[in-house]
Structure 1
Amino acid sequence: MGLFEELKRRNVIRVGIAYAVMAWLLMQIADVLIDNLDAPDWVFSTLLIALGIGFPLVLVFAWAFELTPEGVKRERDVDRQQSITHNTGRRLNRVIMATLVLAVGYLLVDKFILTDTAPAQQVADNMAESADTRAPSEPAGNAVSVAVLPFVNMSANAENEYFSDGLTDTLLHMLAQLPELRVAARTSSFAFKNQNKPVQEIAAALGVGNILEGSVQRADNQVRVTAQLIRASDGIHLWSGNYTRPLEGIFAIQDEIATDVASALDVALLGGDQAPRHPETESVDAYDLYLQGLEQRDISSFASLGQAESLFKQAISMDPGFIDAKLALAVTYLMQHNTGMVTREEFEPAAFSLVSQVKEQEPDNRLARAVELSLIFTEERSYNTETDELEAAAAELAGLLALLPQQSFLRGQLAVGVAYGLQRFQQGLDIIEAGLILDPLSAELYAQKGNILRGMERNEDANAAFQRALELEPDNPNHYSRMARSAMVQGDLRGGFAWRLRHVQLDPEDHEVVATLARQFYEWDLLEEGDLWAERVRALAPNSDFVQRLRIDRALAAGDTDAIINIAEGMIRQPATMRHGVYPTALFEWLQAMSMSGRSEGALPLLQEAFPGLDDLSTPQPSPQGVMAQYAWVELLARTRPREEALAAWEQYRQTRSAFGMEWADDPYIRMFDALLRNDLQRATDQALEDLAAPIHEWPRRTYAYSDPFLAAVTSDPRVTARIAELDREYAQGQAVIRELVESEAWDP
């Protein structure tokens, strides 16, 4: 084993990182306390020396000693077969990540809340003198901050809106490169587009001391830009400029505006001389296409994301070295995957290729690395990635995003990945809250906040977050499906169907949301309505796995067991997508149909054929579909083999999956299955009652799962029988509510 590998095995590297991060945080806290307590300077110096001396000592200790269940032992005295360094490594990963979150929180508080008021007072005085007007000082932390409001499109052609928005976006990102200047995030600034509100109100909402606004007029090959910098506290114009150039001079205009604005703030406040960077292209045509792509990507519909992809590709073909366009395209691919336009197999190679190209051009490009890490947190990839790897990626991405305050979309991806991939919901929520300090009007962050809160079963709070996202982005169709799901969880069936219909109307090309609506009708045994929407899905995406899943849903509603088996077998042999539960539906409805028809024994060969090596439960399957098929294999063994053999298989499967952070104990149905294998009928019945306690609207076919003969010992319990009858009555009531809705004038598909 090489030295580096041995350092990793003994956790020396992790210990070093953890010590360095905690030492830095300790020094920041000590710096604040020492200043406020008027302690002598030697106190801080002594602390710094002590921490510096401690660093090599900690590394030596980590190399020579190991933490064991019996306490600390010399490493040479520990049996390598009994070593628990891998568990210690996981704990260290968590310590590093938690400390990074605290460090980011400290930076945010220090920058936005604890900033010394003295420099702000001095700057206010200097600016006031230049305007011959005396003004009160800025609130602490606000004077070195600015929001770039969307420049007004003054062109005769309204279609040039993308150009004025794009110029605003570019200026914003250029100014954000100044390390001492806080720039309000794009999404929050753009929330005030076309709103004629007072400067003071906007500045207060965004937490900034200055506002940059302007207009853009484009005619043929000429462009005229006006801009002005306004101090929010008193409305004084600190600077203004007018620029008229040929279109080819747009980059020079951006450079001049950014430099002039930086000077208006920087000379007095920052004492720096840093030049912000505009997008790295000298091709005006490529830049124009890039701006059009950003406009389309922000819409976030099926059609607009496809247009954004095409526009970014055109920009790159005109300038193969256009870094910003490459990263924008990589993020677009991620968004397409999130919304179901492309599969993981389709988008990952293209996205990773773009990131690799950028890293070859700029090895230290932070955004490229952040995008690369974000790709790990897609649902399918994180599902089968070991916990240690996810923790390391999350810690690195959190550190990068502290240096990329404008990247709210990637921050949302990280938060959801930490919450669902690592099952750390509170930590994910903390990441969102930190992001909202930087970007208080980000619909994306509010939407992901709702997703995390829903996972924490804080349904009312989740609904409020989704509602806020919708208020901020009423034209984003995805928010309507989130509202639909929220309404369903809270028992509002009419609202759930109405919100989903609105999503379809806003994004009619999204076959997945149409399929979801069709499926909901089938779940409530409303075959005629389901057939109408299923036909629309077939017209939009005839070869989609969602079409096949709807055939299963219809067969379930019609009670056609043979049809369920025949359709599902094809989706298992050629594994269907995991999106929106398509593959799990096929697998488990097939499993139950085989069990109910007495054909469980014959189901085993199909799984072996579809997933070679499936029966070796000590070896994890490489795909999420394979992981689920292995679980189905264990369920089939429970139906066809002696209980001891099935229990041994179950224990092996759980042990194999433990490295991936699978939280099996959180699911009452799984706990019921575990109890049945252990012949503990009382516990199995209790878990069944817990599973059935949820209202019917959360899962309309909940009681159907209990018609499986395998569960006969549980369903024979009078309490379970009574609860199933109660849910059946709730089902009939819900069906009547939905039928009344579709027959009313309010339903207008």
Structure 2
Amino acid sequence: MKFLSELRRRKVIQTLIPFLGVIWLLLQIIAVVTPLLNLSPFVATSLTIFLFACFPVVFYLAWYFDITPQGIKVTAVDYSENPKPLGLKWWLGLSVVMVGSLMLGLHYFDNARTDYVKRNEGLLTSLKASSIAVLPFRDQSPESDQQYLAAGVTEELTSLLGQVAGLQVASASAGFSLARQNLLPVDIARRLKVDTLLSGSIHKVGNQIRLRVELINAEDGMTLWSQSFSRQLSDIFAVETEIARAIANLLQQRYLAAGSLTSLNNTASSDAYMMYLRGREQYRLQTTESIKEARRLFEQALALDPEYAMAYAALADTIISLAEGSASFGVLKADIAATLAEQHLAKALVRAPGLAEAHAIRGFLLFYLQSNYDAALPALDKALSLNPNLAQAHLWRFAALEQLGRRQDAWQALQRAYRLNPVAITHQYNLAVKLAERGELSAAQEQYQQLIADFPESPVGYIGMAKLDNAAALPGNPMLSDAQANALLNTIEPQLLQDIKALGWQYQ
């Protein structure tokens, strides 16, 4: 009651009512003028926030001052006193109120601006998700001959989204593997443990490309957002960045403005990009001839654009795969392969210092071809600081840490790699091995069984089951003797054997 009586005595309410009336009048004027002058609707929102941010300041001034016929005068402390001059305490109080009002106004202004931009871009949604997987894009071109381009869009969107802080992005290769099993989107999401899925299609005619994208809720398979983008092929990197930014803004609280995501897999030459994508298509086949062909295509891409950083990184990766010591594609002396790969990686990093893939491949080169595990870790850490969703970099980091005897750190790196790609044979196998080493035999058995279910034609899962300690005590275990298990090594896919040996795991 005392506070209310003070409000009346100081005539605060008499001051605030006209102030609120002025606010109402200004808003009515803005509502009429905005469409006439073709002003942005955000003008009215901004003015409203500004006026209400001034409210605490007006209240503070009304508490200490009174408007009289003789002008503005300081209000007395009580009825019995004459007004006293305002001192330092009053000025400090005014400063605090003004700063607080300013911060509050800026907070609401920023939120309102973000919502306005999102609404203007069609990006408002109630969903807040922390994980996503990009499903392989479908080729709907007239000749159905653009699968390599569709796969390239899938990989690039995965890479761009991987840069978004706080967003877990499943490996593109995991999506490729599960899509080949003809699983429903919700089943893929369940396996990858993601909240959302991004699917889409491409339609290319001449130099014109149209991309159709859909954001899907993993829980019920419902489409949350969809959009079509039609561009010239030369604008493919810009549209991929636009899509990734839109998805990030749909899922994250923090708004990403235009230009906040940058594709480092860009080139001024559309022909060089097409050559690079054809090289990636060959690389994914993982045969000796396809790896050789991938190398040739990457070299052609660089002939078309000598500044193409990602092509240098891809070429280095291919050369490492061709090094002797890998049981699969060993057609180059290891020291020659290391020298060539280092040269190409240096060119990639000079042109794009922030290219996460180049740092990751450099780390792989250091520990795989040069056994320099201490030097490999900083390169892999740098890659993961740029893109924490590079599953292969986490796996390589696990291998380097294992060699250095840092078992707990290695275990954490392996878990991270598995979360991002729970489908890859090397990820599943190494996780099962480590579970068995930790005494978690039932969990190891389940992992081997999952590996067998995913890759029934591969002997790796059966070999792992046979190697489990106390295997006979585990029900349902397909028993193999050590001799039988080792004999199966000769039937393992060459690239898989390379990966396993690169990680330091020997079956013997």
Q: Given the two structures, how large is their TM-score scaled by the length of structure 1?
A: 0.43
* Cα distance change, pair 202–332 in 1 and its aligned pair in 2 (3 A): same
Offset of 1:466 from its aligned partner? 6.0
Equivalent position of 1:271 in the other structure: 255
Checking the alignment, whether the CA contact within 8 Å between 2:149 and 2:277 is kept in structure 1 is yes
Checking the alignment, whether the CA contact within 8 Å between 1:175 and 1:262 is kept in structure 2 is yes
Offset of 1:187 from its aligned partner? 2.6
What do residues 489-520 of structure 1 show as CA deviations (whole Å, max 9, x unaligned)?
951544654x44544xx66xx9x99xxxxxxx
Offset of 1:145 from its aligned partner? 3.1
Find the partner of 1:212 among 198, 203, 214.
198
Find the partner of 2:326 among 327, 331, 339.
339
- Structure 1 Cα separation of the partners of residues 268 and 203 of structure 2: 21
What do residues 248-306 of structure 1 show as CA deviations (whole Å, max 9, x unaligned)?
3433432332343334345xx21231533232212111111211222222232222222
Give 1:277's aligned amino acid.
Answer: T
- Structure 1 Cα separation of the partners of residues 187 and 437 of structure 2: 35
* Cα distance change, pair 305–481 in 1 and its aligned pair in 2 (3 A): farther
- Structure 2 Cα separation of the partners of residues 471 and 215 of structure 1: 29
* Cα distance change, pair 366–211 in 1 and its aligned pair in 2 (3 A): closer
Checking the alignment, whether the CA contact within 8 Å between 2:429 and 2:448 is kept in structure 1 is yes
Equivalent position of 1:108 in the other structure: none
2:350 equivalent to 1:360: yes
Offset of 1:150 from its aligned partner? 0.8
Equivalent position of 2:360 in the other structure: 370
SS in 1 for 2:267: coil
Higher helix share: 1
Equivalent position of 1:300 in the other structure: 286
- Structure 1 Cα separation of the partners of residues 296 and 441 of structure 2: 39
* Cα distance change, pair 285–501 in 1 and its aligned pair in 2 (3 A): same
Equivalent position of 1:729 in the other structure: none
* Cα distance change, pair 402–254 in 1 and its aligned pair in 2 (3 A): closer
Offset of 1:158 from its aligned partner? 4.8
Offset of 1:488 from its aligned partner? 8.0
Equivalent position of 2:399 in the other structure: 416
Offset of 1:436 from its aligned partner? 1.8
2:421 equivalent to 1:439: yes
Give 2:326's aligned amino acid.
Answer: T
Offset of 1:198 from its aligned partner? 4.4
Find the partner of 1:150 among 119, 122, 136.
136
Offset of 1:180 from its aligned partner? 4.0
- Structure 1 Cα separation of the partners of residues 405 and 221 of structure 2: 48
Equivalent position of 2:377 in the other structure: 394
What do residues 96-153 of structure 1 show as CA deviations (whole Å, max 9, x unaligned)?
xxxxxxxxxxxxxxxxxxxxxxx9xxx9xx99xx999xx9x86xxx614322111112
Give 2:204's aligned amino acid.
Answer: R
Equivalent position of 1:168 in the other structure: 154
Structure 1 residues without counterparts, runs of 5 or longer? 1-118, 514-577, 582-697, 700-749
Give 2:319's aligned amino acid.
Answer: Y
Checking the alignment, whether the CA contact within 8 Å between 1:425 and 1:452 is kept in structure 2 is no
**Percent identity at matched positions?**
26
2:274 equivalent to 1:291: no
Equivalent position of 1:351 in the other structure: 341
Offset of 1:241 from its aligned partner? 1.9
Checking the alignment, whether the CA contact within 8 Å between 2:432 and 2:445 is kept in structure 1 is yes
Give 1:298's aligned amino acid.
Answer: R
Give 1:355's aligned amino acid.
Answer: L
What do residues 425-444 of structure 1 show as CA deviations (whole Å, max 9, x unaligned)?
45423320122233333334
SS in 2 for 1:381: coil
Give 1:401's aligned amino acid.
Answer: L
* Cα distance change, pair 463–318 in 1 and its aligned pair in 2 (3 A): farther
Give 1:160's aligned amino acid.
Answer: Q
Equivalent position of 1:64 in the other structure: none
SS in 2 for 1:215: strand
* Cα distance change, pair 371–331 in 1 and its aligned pair in 2 (3 A): same
Give 2:168's aligned amino acid.
Answer: R
* Cα distance change, pair 259–303 in 1 and its aligned pair in 2 (3 A): same
- Structure 1 Cα separation of the partners of residues 455 and 139 of structure 2: 20
Give 1:310's aligned amino acid.
Answer: R
Offset of 1:370 from its aligned partner? 3.2
2:370 equivalent to 1:381: yes
- Structure 2 Cα separation of the partners of residues 304 and 434 of structure 1: 30
Offset of 1:213 from its aligned partner? 0.8
- Structure 2 Cα separation of the partners of residues 210 and 313 of structure 1: 37
- Structure 1 Cα separation of the partners of residues 267 and 388 of structure 2: 23
Give 2:389's aligned amino acid.
Answer: Q
- Structure 1 Cα separation of the partners of residues 207 and 379 of structure 2: 45
2:406 equivalent to 1:406: no
Offset of 1:464 from its aligned partner? 6.4
Offset of 1:446 from its aligned partner? 2.2
* Cα distance change, pair 309–450 in 1 and its aligned pair in 2 (3 A): farther
Checking the alignment, whether the CA contact within 8 Å between 1:185 and 1:405 is kept in structure 2 is no
SS in 2 for 1:411: helix
Checking the alignment, whether the CA contact within 8 Å between 2:139 and 2:145 is kept in structure 1 is no
- Structure 2 Cα separation of the partners of residues 481 and 205 of structure 1: 20
Structure showing greater radius of gyration is: 2
Equivalent position of 1:254 in the other structure: 240
Equivalent position of 2:98 in the other structure: none
* Cα distance change, pair 200–485 in 1 and its aligned pair in 2 (3 A): closer
Offset of 1:322 from its aligned partner? 1.0
Checking the alignment, whether the CA contact within 8 Å between 1:425 and 1:456 is kept in structure 2 is no
Offset of 1:354 from its aligned partner? 1.2
Q: Given the two structures, how large is their TM-score scaled by the length of structure 2?
A: 0.61
* Cα distance change, pair 305–208 in 1 and its aligned pair in 2 (3 A): same
Checking the alignment, whether the CA contact within 8 Å between 2:312 and 2:344 is kept in structure 1 is yes
* Cα distance change, pair 399–164 in 1 and its aligned pair in 2 (3 A): closer
Give 1:339's aligned amino acid.
Answer: S
* Cα distance change, pair 327–459 in 1 and its aligned pair in 2 (3 A): farther
